[in-house]
Every structure is written in structure tokens, then in C-alpha cells.
């Protein structure tokens, strides 16, 4: 995932505008103008770093000199220095929280994603780990990029990436086969079609109708195994991807991976984020320029 630098800067500056309001009164009253400082961003726990590209673009847009000490995707230990910064003290203290919020959130998402993937891989399964569209408005790009940096699948970034016919669509249309045909007759060849189902017979109907992906919504591992067996008997298993979503978490992930599903999607990766703890520390104050 890549955004042009100017577009990226604009997105992050909107976060800053929300935080700063009419100005940072504390900094303006306590810090003399034109004071130059050296500072570092340091981790307070181990984890996977994400958001380096965003931090660099943000800081350079304010003319800071930045030295990157780790790259996106790096696994770091506690007390690791992520980057060093030299520049105007007033500006740095005013943008500090916006900078840290983005870095710590993205790194927290990348960390849990990597941990889930490694847990599945160590157990010998090839199940892909994906996020969902659950998350805070305005942060979709950053959250999804963090998942990607952690090694996960972003599923879909926008509604136009993929056709997903969910329960409420079916409640209106009334029939899985009818819904798939309606979409297949109109959508581009480049778009895959996914159907969300809540019963094993619906999974079979979706596969027969020509869906590319069948999402088993809130199925238990036992129900998933039963559904896969049903699809295998009908010689349909190899023709579709099977995604399981709902009820999957870090504690039971191996139970779900053992069923043979292709994809496990987690809302909690992005909607229940534990940020990776980091701090910005001023390490030297220079004389006025």
C-alpha cells in the first residue's frame, strides 16, 4: 500500500488539526521561540514497528531532520530507539501526540497480526490471517497498512474492492442463487464474489451458485468441519475459498485453523487495538538559532 507523500501528509495533518484546535497554549507559554531540540522516540515494550513511512512524511513536512533507526516490519525490544528528530521545539511538542498516536496504533496492530500469524505457522497450518472493516472512521488506510506490515491480509480496503453479499443483502433479495446471478451478470470479471452464510446448506448453495469465497459467519470449529465435509462430498471444496469469521480470537485460533479453512478474519485486530507503548523523549536542548 502506498499513498503519494502529499496525500499522506494531508491525511495526517487533519488528525493534527483536530488535536491542536486554535493552538497549543501550554507550549506557546512555556517554550521560547526558535528553540531547537534533539529528541528520540523510544519503545516501552517489545513489538513490531509500523508507521515509519507515515512518521517520516509527517515530520519532514514540518522541516524536521529525521534519522530512521528501524524500518517498518522490524521486531524491536523494549527501550529500542525507533527514530531521532532534530528541529523546532514548539512544533515538536505540539505535534508529539498526533505522531505517537499514529505510530503506537499502527505498531500495535502490526504486533498482534504478526503474533497471530506466527502462532498459526508454528502449529503447521497455512491459514491466512485477515482483518475486517471494523475500526475507527478515518483510520482505515493506516490500520490496513499496519495489518499488511504485520504480514496479514487486508481483505478489502473499500466497498468497491470485492462483492460481499451479506445477511442483510439476502434478507432483501431473498435467495442466494438469485443474488449471485444478479451480481455475476453485472459485475466486472475482475471482482470476486463472496457470500456470507450462517448454515452449512447455505454454504453448499453459495458454492453451487458460483461464489468464489464462502464466509462461514459465527460457525464453531465443529460446524466448519461438517460444512467442509459436505462441500467435499459434492466436489465443491476445491472450487472455493472458505473464510471463517466471528468468534475467532487469539485463544481459540488454532481450533479454527485446524478445520482447514483458508482464511480467518479478525475484527479485534483493528477494532480493539492495544497500542504499542512508546514515548518521545527530548534528549538535548540547543541554544536559540
Cell numbers that stand for 35 in this block? 528553540
CA distances from 199 to 85, 114, 203, 226, 227 (A): 55, 31, 7, 10, 8
CA 167 to chain centre: 24
User: Is 134 annotated as catalytic?
Assistant: yes
CA-closest candidate to residue 198, choices 229, 165, 154: 165
Please answer whether residues 143 and 174 qualify as being in contact, where contact means their C-beta atoms are separated by less than 8 angstroms: no
Q: Which one from 134, 191, 226, 274 is the annotated catalytic residue? A: 134
CA-closest candidate to residue 212, choices 180, 188, 235: 180
Which residues are identified as catalytic?
134
Amino acid at each position: 500500500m502506498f499513498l503519494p507523500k502529499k496525500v499522506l501528509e494531508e491525511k495526517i495533518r487533519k488528525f493534527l488539526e483536530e488535536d491542536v484546535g486554535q493552538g497549543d497554549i501550554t507550549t506557546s507559554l512555556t517554550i521560547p521561540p526558535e528553540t531547537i531540540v534533539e529528541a528520540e522516540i523510544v519503545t516501552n515494550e517489545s513489538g513490531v514497528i509500523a508507521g515509519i513511512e507515515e512518521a517520516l512524511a509527517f515530520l519532514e513536512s514540518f522541516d524536521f531532520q529525521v534519522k530512521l533507526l528501524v524500518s517498518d516490519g522490524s521486531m524491536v525490544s523494549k527501550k529500542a530507539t525507533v527514530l531521532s528528530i532534530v528541529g523546532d521545539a514548539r512544533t515538536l511538542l505540539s505535534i508529539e501526540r498526533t505522531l505517537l498516536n499514529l505510530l503506537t496504533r499502527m505498531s500495535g496492530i502490526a504486533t498482534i497480526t504478526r503474533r497471530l500469524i506466527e502462532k498459526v505457522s508454528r502449529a503447521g497450518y497455512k491459514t491466512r490471517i485477515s482483518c475486517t472493516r471494523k475500526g475507527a472512521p478515518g483510520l482505515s488506510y493506516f490500520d490496513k497498512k499496519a495489518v499488511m506490515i504485520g504480514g496479514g491480509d487486508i481483505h478489502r480496503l473499500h466497498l468497491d474492492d470485492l462483492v460481499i453479499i451479506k445477511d442483510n443483502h439476502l434478507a432483501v433479495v431473498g435467495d442466494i442463487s438469485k443474488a449471485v446471478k444478479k451480481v455475476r451478470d453485472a459485475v466486472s470479471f475482475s471482482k470476486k464474489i463472496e457470500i456470507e452464510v450462517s448454515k452449512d446448506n447455505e454454504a453448499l448453495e453459495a458454492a453451487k451458485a458460483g461464489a468464489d469465497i464462502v464466509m462461514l459467519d459465527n460457525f464453531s470449529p465443529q460446524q466448519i468441519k461438517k460444512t467442509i465435509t459436505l462441500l467435499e462430498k459434492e466436489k465443491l471444496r476445491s472450487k472455493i475459498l472458505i473464510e471463517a469469521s466471528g468468534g475467532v480470537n487469539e485463544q481459540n485460533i488454532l481450533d479454527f485453523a485446524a478445520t482447514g479453512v483458508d482464511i480467518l478474519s479478525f475484527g479485534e485486530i483493528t477494532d480493539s487495538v492495544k497500542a504499542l507503548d512508546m514515548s518521545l523523549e527530548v534528549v538535548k536542548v540547543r541554544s536559540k538559532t
